[in-house]
């Protein structure tokens, strides 16, 4: 009976972990119920409102079994294939893009501030024209207000994710020069602001480097 139950169980992981670890977990589930990778996008308020975005990968029959549970926590489930590690590769790519957007905004706001333009005004122009997207609005406001605590996603976790991106980039021989800048500013933010700041505190590191 116990063996039969194990063969029916499905391991679903929402964690942001390395591609190599997902591959190992998938192999470990061979002969058991199966493995589904389902990392999510969304900050704590989205999670509380069951409005996350789920990126799911695994066998079609397994994802179908998990469908009601995934739907219950999300506003949309994206299917990215039958290879579970693909979901984590998408998640890591997305987290890198979030940090790249924050880095770009922090640099632009610092430049504008040093030139006499208020960061809040710059943000209004940007989000009212070509950059009208949640990532720019949410993190732009945090940068303008320098509101890095309490952390919605702590900077050490962001650094962990960028290190995972670097690992898979090395494995796939993919140059990512901007990744190096983001990682250095995350390290600086943690060293200067402490372990408990949000990963958007890269903005503090950028400002400090500019003498602000």
Catalytic positions are 91
Eight-state DSSP code of residue 197: S
Pairing between β-strand 74-79 and β-strand 52-56 as defined by DSSP bridges: parallel
Greatest Cα pair distance, the chain, in angstroms, is 72
- Integer-rounded Cα Rg, in Å, for the chain is 19
Instruction: Determine the Cα–Cα distance for residues 142 and 148; give it in Å rounded to an integer.
Output: 7
Gap between the Cα atoms of 183 and 188, Å rounded = 9
- Cα–Cα dist 42/74, whole Å: 9
What DSSP character marks residue 141?
A: H
Could you give the CA distance from residue 141 to residue 136 in angstroms, rounded to a whole number? 8
Task: State both tokens at 133.
Answer: 């997207």
For residue 152, give both structure tokens: 């919605």
C-alpha to C-alpha distance for 121 and 125, rounded to whole angstroms:
6
């Amino acid at each position: 009976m116990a063996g039969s139950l194990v063969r029916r169980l499905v391991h679903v992981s929402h964690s942001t972990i390395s591609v190599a670890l997902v591959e190992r977990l998938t192999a470990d589930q061979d002969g058991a119920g199966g493995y589904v990778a389902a990392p999510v996008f969304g900050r704590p308020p989205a999670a509380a409102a069951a409005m996350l975005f789920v990126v799911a990968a695994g066998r079609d029959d397994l994802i179908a079994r998990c469908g009601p549970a995934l739907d219950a926590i999300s506003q949309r489930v994206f299917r990215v294939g039958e290879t579970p590690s693909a979901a984590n590769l998408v998640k890591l790519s997305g987290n890198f893009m979030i940090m790249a957007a924050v880095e770009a905004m922090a640099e632009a706001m610092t430049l504008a501030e040093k030139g006499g333009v208020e960061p809040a005004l710059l943000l209004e122009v940007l989000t009212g024209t070509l950059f009208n997207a949640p990532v720019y609005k949410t993190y732009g406001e945090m940068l303008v207000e320098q509101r890095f605590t309490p952390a919605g996603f702590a900077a050490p976790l962001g650094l962990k994710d960028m290190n995972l991106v670097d690992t898979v980039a090395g494995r796939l021989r993919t140059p990512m020069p901007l990744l190096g800048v983001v990682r250095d500013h995350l390290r600086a933010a943690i060293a200067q602001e402490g372990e408990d700041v949000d990963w958007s505190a890269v903005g503090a590191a950028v400002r400090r480097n500019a003498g602000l």
